[in-house]
Structure 1
Amino acid sequence: MCRCIDEYLEFAKTSLKTNTYKVYEDRLNIFKGYLLDEGIDHKRIDQISKDNIFNFVTSYKVNRGWENKTYNHYLQAINTFLQFFMDNKDGYIAENVCAKIKRPEVYKKGNTPFNNVIFRDLLDCLKDQDPYLYQFSRFIYYSCMRPDAELRLLRICDIDLYRRVILVPSENSKKKKTQYIPIDDEFLEIIMEMNLDWFNKTDYVFTTSGMPEPKPAYESYFRKRFIPLKKSLGINNGETLYSFKHTRCIHLVEDGEKLHNIIKLTRHKTLAELMDYLKDMGVILGDEIKFKSRSI
């Protein structure tokens, strides 16, 4: 079993992004440590039972105070590992026993936009104390791009000012397909002021130096810069850099923008997906509801 975990991790190292691989490596090595502690590391992969896996996650949930989300993440890592051998190796396992273990329910917190007062104070604070983070945050707001997975990896050549679109390559987009984001007049002004044509077209727009360079800012770089500003304004943990995207969508709805235009920006696949997304933020669209209530 332990050798199989090592074999899978060797494969995963070449097929997963570095940060994703590190997560799988940590979780599967903790599982391997459990097998060693329990004296069942000698078992073959086809001898590992549903009970063995279930006992691992439930004992660690109690002893380490795992939340349901963490519990499910470890099950998912083990499930992926076992499925790899089912799908790619003959004679290892006939079934994935982890797939049959019930996942506990995880309650979604929902998407949190900034309220208008905090939003204005935050922009003023960013502009005054961290102009570069201010610029990055405005890009999130106008493009609705994911901060780490997409915007951080934006290259100058991905911005087409003639067609007024930003290209999101398939390797960066959530849907794993090339997507395009429209550039409106306000956003166009911001981009023009950056004089990006002075730099190499293959440079990344956002870096640790504050100007376009061949190497992008590392993951979580802007998030770490955002934390002290949040604390200084008393902003709660539910509001993150993602909240600029959520706030943008709220503002578009409040300003009466057509839903099919908002879909182009958020890149939701269907109107139903967009409606669910907006509902998570407390936006209920449809006919105005007027109740006739009696006075009591």
Structure 2
Amino acid sequence: MWQFRGNKNQITPGEKSAYPYKKARLADTGDDLTKRWFVVYYAWSEAKEKLVRKRVEVKGDTLEARLKEAKDIIKEVNKLLKAGMVTDVLSDEPAEPEPEKYESIQGLLRATIYFLDVKKTSLKANSHKTYRSSVKLFQTYLKDHNLGMIRLDRFTAVQAFGYMDYVSTKLRLSNKSYNKHLGVLETLFNFYLYRQQIRINPFVGIKPLPERPGKHTAFSPDQISRIKGACELIGDHQLWLFLNFLHYTLARPQSELRLLRVGDILEKTIRIDSENAKNNRTMHVLIPPPLERLIQHHRLRDYPASHYVFTIEGIPGEKPAYEKYFYNQHRRILTLLKLTDKAYDLYGWKHTGVIALYKATKDVKLIQRQCRHSSLDQTDKYLRDLGLFLDEDQLSGVPSL
């Protein structure tokens, strides 16, 4: 447990510490990323009355990332040591537990780093990438405004509003990006709120900004017919099968459908595994008759259950298609048909499927289950964003003047 022990005159950063120490440095690793990297330094121990060796592990997937991380840690540790920080403090008060790996850092900046480190084990790669991007922007702001070293519990709502004002006015990010940043920071402070290290989340009172509907455009019946014909012309039957799965299951193309396995195709439903699902929950969607006919035509259930349904070979196999494979195949068809508007993409097939399902059934509860929405409000908003209404004939009886 670290604590500041100044002399009678308060020590400020830049002045000589009242306690001896040895500056932080990166231990020699030979730039080998297979080894664990540490920043090491020596600080005064009150209990042992001597300098003791301490270290902080450096994380990063690339050489550049680790060197930058090490540089940041060294800078912060040296600042703390210079300000009079000691370890093994003699005190009658019980020390508050801190994460062992970051015991030397109590500031807000280090709290953000620890948050990302923990979240990396539970988030999917794309989600962690989003978190990392938002947190990095926040870290830059903290450094530029000399807020990185303040205690986590002393970051106020006023400062939180100031940061979000900076995001909207200085960075001029879209409302959608603004809301993503806000969501990540709410999650960051909730992380420490649930661990009882802070009493209030300073971002909780900030409201999201209104968002425009997404730019993914649904396909018209004529466009669907032309795309089907083009797939048949070039012999890309798997692409047409993939688009049908998108249309009927309303699954996400990259993270869910691309990683679908044969064993997930059950008798009446398709299982979306929690490892791939955005909400981290295993759920099922119904198989409508047109999709069932395609499943039987391609004899998908005859393949080994562990095989991926969609591969670059065109039939189920042991290795799934790479992430951009169907995007590229689809873009090739759209280019061939001169549908070059970027609003037309794979995700548009999900919108196309939702519109078709709504017009065929008018059953919002069914759409909620098939979309795997957590609430009807979410489904209602989705339908309205697509230009659909719960009752198109509701105003038909309004009399004319």
TM-score by length of 2: 0.62
Q: Does 1:17 align with 2:124?
A: yes
Q: For residue 240 of structure 2, what is the aligned residue in structure 1?
A: 134
Give matches, 1:1-296, under 5 Å. Answer: 1-88=108-195, 90=196, 92-109=197-214, 112-129=217-234, 130-160=236-266, 163-173=267-277, 177-197=281-301, 199-232=303-336, 233-252=338-357, 254=359, 256-257=360-361, 259=363, 263=367, 265-266=370-371, 277-284=382-389, 285=391, 287=393, 289=396
Alpha-carbon deviations, 1:96-143, whole Å to 9, x = none? 111123332223348742122222222222333444322211221233
RMSD between aligned residues: 3.2
Deviation by residue 1:214-254 (Cα, 9 ceiling, x = unmatched): 33334444234333433442353333323223323434455
Q: Deviations over 1:122-167 (max 9, x none)?
A: 222233344432221122123332322321221101112xx33322
Q: 1:174 to 1:139 in 2, by over 3 A?
A: same
| Greater relative contact order (CA < 8 Å, ≥ 6 in sequence) | 1
Q: Quick check: 2:272–2:283 contact (8 Å CA) kept in 1?
A: yes
Distance change >3 Å, CA 134–CA 50, structure 1 → 2? same
Gaps of 5+ in 2: 1-107
The CA deviation string for residues 42-81 of structure 1, in whole angstroms up to 9 with x for no partner, is 2111222334333333334344331111112112212211
Rounded Cα–Cα distance in structure 2 between residues aligned with 1:224 and 1:64: 32
Count of residues in correspondence between the two structures: 289
Segments of 5+ residues of structure 1 without an aligned counterpart are none
Distance 2:179 2:379 in 1: 26
Aligned equivalents of 2:392, 2:142: Cα separation in 1: 54
Higher relative strand content: 2
More moved, 135-144 vs 192-201: 192-201
Equivalents in 2 of 1:101, 1:261: separation in Å? 31
Q: Which moved more, 1:92-101 or 1:190-199?
A: 190-199
SS at match of 1:59: helix
User: Conserved in 2, the CA contact under 8 Å of 1:111 and 1:281?
Assistant: no
Q: Kindly indicate whether the alpha-carbon contact (under 8 Å) linking 2:216 and 2:345 is maintained by their aligned counterparts in 1.
A: no
Shift in Å, 1:30: 2.0
Alpha-carbon distance in 1 for matches of 2:287, 2:199: 52
CA distance in structure 1 between the partners assigned to 2:214 and 2:259 by the alignment: 27
1:69, 1:258 → 2: CA distance? 29
Q: Conserved in 2, the CA contact under 8 Å of 1:166 and 1:180?
A: yes
Percent identical = 29
User: What is the letter of the counterpart of residue 49 of structure 1?
Assistant: T
Give distance in 1, aligned partners of 2:203 and 2:284.
38
Task: Return closer, same or farther for 1:64/1:149 CA change in 2, 3 Å cut-off.
Answer: same
Give the aligned partner of residue 53 of structure 2. Answer: none
Greater CA deviation, 272-281 or 199-208?
272-281
Distance 2:180 2:231 in 1: 35
Question: What one-letter code is carried by the residue in structure 2 that aligns with 1:227?
Answer: R
Q: Counting helix residues as a fraction of each chain, which structure ranks higher? A: 1
Aligned-residue offset at 1:4: 0.8
SS in 2 for 1:148: helix
Residue type of the alignment partner of 2:265: I
Assess if the C-alpha contact under 8 Å between 1:110 and 1:280 holds in 2. Answer: no
Q: Using a 3 Å threshold, how does the CA distance of structure 1 residues 270 and 152 change in structure 2: closer, same or farther? A: same
Compared CA separation, residues 50 and 226, structure 1 to 2 (3 A): farther
